[in-house]
Structure 1
Amino acid sequence: MESYTLSTLENQTEEQPNGIPLVSRISSKLHWFLLTASILALIFYQVFAPNWEYLDIFRINGFTLLIWTTVLFFSSIVSSYSKNYLTGFQYQKRFSLFSICFTLSVMLFVASNHILPLLISWFAMGYFMAKLIGVNKTWGEARQAETFSLRYFISGALVLTIGILLLCYDSDQFTLQGLMITDEFSNSILIISTVLIIIAATIQSAIFPFHRWLLSAMTSPTPASALMHAGFVNGSGLLLTLFAPLLILSNTLWILFIIGGITAILAQFQKLIQVNVKHKLACSTIAQMGFMIMQCGLGFFNAAIAHLILHGFYKAYLFLSSGEQVMQSSPQESPRIKITFLQAVAVLLFGVLGAFLFSYLTGKTNTTDSSIFLTLIVAITVGQATYNIVKEKSFSYIEKLVASAVLFIVGISVYALLFNGITILMSEMPMIQVPHSLDTLQIVFGVIFLIGFFIMKLGVHRKSPWLYVKLLNLSQPYKKTIHYYKK
């Protein structure tokens, strides 16, 4: 049925004189129209606060419109980019169709209140993304990558379905709102269901040990990679946010915190040993998803959504400009960290100042609960940025000082503004920000996380052949998705 529908549409498609198919032109215009409508709806909703519900099946709130606007922005950019980038590509029409179908499935997912459209749209997201990964039907490796990734997505959808149906059966509630406001769950069912939801989320975000599908998806065209890394893998953050009250009620946040932290460190290590641009970006995405899952584990689902949006901007740009990076670069040895005492003092100073500014602007001033980890991540980020400035030999000492100060003040202020704005838009969502007291497990793992981070930055993996080979093996894609077919 699918082949017939696509071939019929493609045969009926007329092309412009410049060779751009009608389907691609319509897809691009539709994306931009929906983006404009979403922005206007978001403004209207914030001003008039209407009640947009339909028979308990769909519900549109500030969070829904925020995600619609974000996803449509990335999809519109990718659609316009691919319209010209894929000109002459045999399957450009299929790409355009699958792109708009994927975008609509994400929009349906975040607007669903009843579990039926919620589960259908989750499956559709994976199905259409798999089709984008294997859009080039003449390439054997692409077909293998589509099949391989689809297995993961179907498994994740089945696991999610079982988890949610168990909750519905136990509580006799079949809407998200109903599941969130009831506490009539047996403890065993609640824990089993939330663990299954966590597994479904980690599969889609390529969290260890489910990361190989993303490393094997490099057969997709660059626009599809941008859409996947800026939108699809972020879907777990949306899922976990929707089920935040149940995750908190079941006391399973510590699972997210640990698997997110382990993934973030391992993926960062793996990124350092990659030689392929797209594989570097894939490892970077896995690491960022680890950070996002970690933020959910800390009880800050609003921070996870902010991270999701910022990562989308960053990664979409990197993928769409990856071809230019390949053309303008040549193989060279990875830079080693060499830092003087004064540089170390500057990094430490601006990292601490950045953390204090973030704490002040966002109200995260409590040092005895999980918000301290958010502040710590901000301090590390500012410290890294400062190091990149102070090591630049073309800058004078005054220029380095001014650049570092401007960077952390502007950067932290913009991030805090975005963080607070997202928190306001998500205010109708229950339990989007629930910091909890630090426990021994979090403190111990936090120390391990910091040690691992600094070991990575100091390049210890280069001095250990065993560790290097282990990381290299962990970052290998599925064998049939790379150089498997002779033709």
Structure 2
Amino acid sequence: MPQWFLGNLFHINGFTILIWATVTFFSAIVSSYASSYLKGFRFHSRFMRLCLGFTFSVMLLVMSNHIVLVLFSWLIMGILMSQLIGIDKTWGEAREASKFTQKYFLTGSLFLTIGLLLLALYSKEFTITGLSRVVSELPLFILIPSALCIIAAAIVQSAIYPFHRWLLSAMTSPTPASALMHAGFVNGSGILLALFATLLFASDTLTILFIIGGFTAIIAQFTKLLQVNVKQKLACSTIAQMGFMIMQCGLGFFNAAVVHLILHGFYKAYLFLSSGEGIVQTKPQKQQQLKIKPFQAVVVLLFGGLGAILFALWTGKGMAMDSSVFLTLIVAITVGQATYNIAKEQSLSVSQKIMVPLVLFVAGIGIYALMYNAVTVLMAGMPMIAQPLPLSWVQIIFGIIFLIGFFVMKLGVYKKIPWLYVKLMNISQPYKKSVLMYKSKSI
């Protein structure tokens, strides 16, 4: 892919164009939706200005080459998002949520500043491309603290545990702002980690990302099942998806993480913008207990295995015994879960239950493989964006823990463990002042 430089300030490549196209598309959809959704809202014009400013801040981040511009755009992103969360200045809870989230965003910016300044001042390189060239020559006492600070900045913005509470407290934002936040803002960590992939490899800190992301994915999926509020469910879902994205970075596949953030953006923006319709069509239902018949189990295992093989063939991942095996495993679980949902559907005949999963997973994996390969081409000019790691005992042990956690969640075992249920409920609560704080005083 061609690359353009404007002095030491800006760097435009295939990755820049990819993120520009993605973020402007999401911003256009959200703005179009907001033009009717927020009609009559007294802060409508301010919302549109903030939305436009946020879009430009993300575009500035991905084209910035000088670390000062990177830090400036990262800080502005957080400030503008906190303003969108508290856009209704007349609502006390919104003001509290805005202040609460801004503390997190400023903390993330502080971590990023420390990490980049450590690298820049020691190496005398103040550009991203310059740091990528010399980072392997720097001593570990500089590399490790810098990498940990950049990781901290990333996980704060993606609401990874233990920094998840800001996202759960951001429900005061109007639905279009929530869509922009979940489709764009939280995904910023994937962009940041991709830009500093060489640092993470040189500092040998990828395993930290893998473990943090995996624990977050499992815990957030647990807490999602306990929520009764639609926005809270979607927030927990976003936290879990960000955990998966961080896991992919920890496996050495930054291109897969970028594909994930794009697909998650489409998925989550749609869910937020259609949440009102979803509530209208929802009817109270008795929760069904998970039961799987022998034939259904065979179908699930068969299609899960076939899906994994197809993914490996079309993307080339999972063909060797390295960290790419985990990507294939996640695909197998996803296909198996989708197959089970179809297999238990009573309105389908036996032949339909066999054919529908086949058509869906072939189409789904085909689209994913196409996107994966396209993103890989666009990111080809960036160093170390797809470097599988050798399998380690840490990865294998954590992979087993991840699988156990998944089945404990799906089988509902956690409901029979009171202390775990209470713990999960407590950690998924928003900041107390962002929920009915001011209204309760007026009653």
TM-score by length of 1: 0.89
1:333 and 1:55 mapped to 2: Cα distance? 63
User: Does structure 2 retain, via aligned residues, the 8 Å contact 1:191–1:252?
Assistant: yes
Please show how residues 338-377 of structure 1 align to structure 2 within 5 Å: 338-377=291-330
1:459 equivalent in structure 2: 412
CA shift for structure 1 position 365 = 4.0
2:343 equivalent in structure 1: 390
Please show how residues 285-304 of structure 1 align to structure 2 within 5 Å: 285-304=238-257
SS of 2:437's equivalent in the other structure is: coil
Indicate the structure whose relative CO is greater, using CA pairs within 8 Å and at least 6 residues apart. Answer: 2
SS of 1:59's equivalent in the other structure is: strand
1:267 and 2:233 matched: no
CA shift for structure 1 position 185 = 1.5
1:223 equivalent in structure 2: 176
1:101 equivalent in structure 2: 53
1:312 and 2:265 matched: yes
> Which region of structure 1 is more displaced relative to structure 2, 325-334 or 111-120?
325-334
1:473 equivalent in structure 2: 426
SS of 2:42's equivalent in the other structure is: coil
User: Does structure 2 retain, via aligned residues, the 8 Å contact 1:222–1:320?
Assistant: yes
1:168 equivalent in structure 2: 120
2:288 and 2:106 mapped to 1: Cα distance? 41
1:281 equivalent in structure 2: 234
User: Does structure 1 retain, via aligned residues, the 8 Å contact 2:210–2:248?
Assistant: yes
1:158 equivalent in structure 2: 110
Percent identity over paired residues: 64
User: Does structure 2 retain, via aligned residues, the 8 Å contact 1:207–1:290?
Assistant: yes
> Which region of structure 1 is more displaced relative to structure 2, 407-416 or 208-217?
407-416
In structure 2, runs of 5+ residues without a counterpart are none
1:233 and 2:186 matched: yes
1:385 and 1:331 mapped to 2: Cα distance? 23
2:40 equivalent in structure 1: 88
Question: Which string of whole-angstrom CA distances, capped at 9 and with x for unpartnered residues, describes residues 61-115 of structure 1?
Answer: 0000000001111110000000011000011011001000000000000000000
2:180 and 2:140 mapped to 1: Cα distance? 39
1:403 and 1:266 mapped to 2: Cα distance? 31
CA shift for structure 1 position 331 = 3.5
Please show how residues 47-126 of structure 1 align to structure 2 within 5 Å: 49=2, 51-126=3-78
Please show how residues 380-459 of structure 1 align to structure 2 within 5 Å: 380-459=333-412
1:247 and 1:205 mapped to 2: Cα distance? 18
1:127 equivalent in structure 2: 79
Question: Which string of whole-angstrom CA distances, capped at 9 and with x for unpartnered residues, describes residues 12-34 of structure 1?
Answer: xxxxxxxxxxxxxxxxxxxxxxx
Question: Which string of whole-angstrom CA distances, capped at 9 and with x for unpartnered residues, describes residues 91-145 of structure 1?
Answer: 1011001000000000000000000111000000000000000001111000000
User: Does structure 2 retain, via aligned residues, the 8 Å contact 1:223–1:320?
Assistant: yes
SS of 1:485's equivalent in the other structure is: helix
> Which region of structure 1 is more displaced relative to structure 2, 182-191 or 350-359?
182-191
1:255 equivalent in structure 2: 208
CA shift for structure 1 position 475 = 0.0
1:373 and 1:103 mapped to 2: Cα distance? 33
CA shift for structure 1 position 334 = 3.2
SS of 2:83's equivalent in the other structure is: helix
Question: Which string of whole-angstrom CA distances, capped at 9 and with x for unpartnered residues, describes residues 320-369 of structure 1?
Answer: 00011112213434332111010011010000000000000011143410
* Structure 2 residue identity aligned to 1:155: T
* Structure 1 residue identity aligned to 2:253: F
2:40 and 2:110 mapped to 1: Cα distance? 38
RMSD, aligned CA: 0.9
* Structure 2 residue identity aligned to 1:193: S
SS of 2:5's equivalent in the other structure is: strand
User: Does structure 2 retain, via aligned residues, the 8 Å contact 1:166–1:193?
Assistant: yes
2:276 and 2:90 mapped to 1: Cα distance? 22
User: Does structure 2 retain, via aligned residues, the 8 Å contact 1:170–1:186?
Assistant: no
2:287 and 2:131 mapped to 1: Cα distance? 50
* Structure 2 residue identity aligned to 1:268: Q
User: Does structure 1 retain, via aligned residues, the 8 Å contact 2:322–2:390?
Assistant: yes
CA shift for structure 1 position 56 = 1.3
* Structure 2 residue identity aligned to 1:53: F
User: Does structure 1 retain, via aligned residues, the 8 Å contact 2:57–2:77?
Assistant: yes
> Which region of structure 1 is more displaced relative to structure 2, 193-202 or 457-466?
457-466
1:321 and 2:303 matched: no
SS of 1:206's equivalent in the other structure is: coil
* Structure 1 residue identity aligned to 2:201: I
User: Does structure 2 retain, via aligned residues, the 8 Å contact 1:299–1:432?
Assistant: yes
1:135 and 1:353 mapped to 2: Cα distance? 48
CA shift for structure 1 position 436 = 1.2
In structure 1, runs of 5+ residues without a counterpart are 1-45
* Structure 1 residue identity aligned to 2:147: T
User: Does structure 1 retain, via aligned residues, the 8 Å contact 2:318–2:327?
Assistant: no
SS of 2:438's equivalent in the other structure is: coil
Q: Which of the numbers 130, 141, 154 marks the counterpart of 2:93?
A: 141
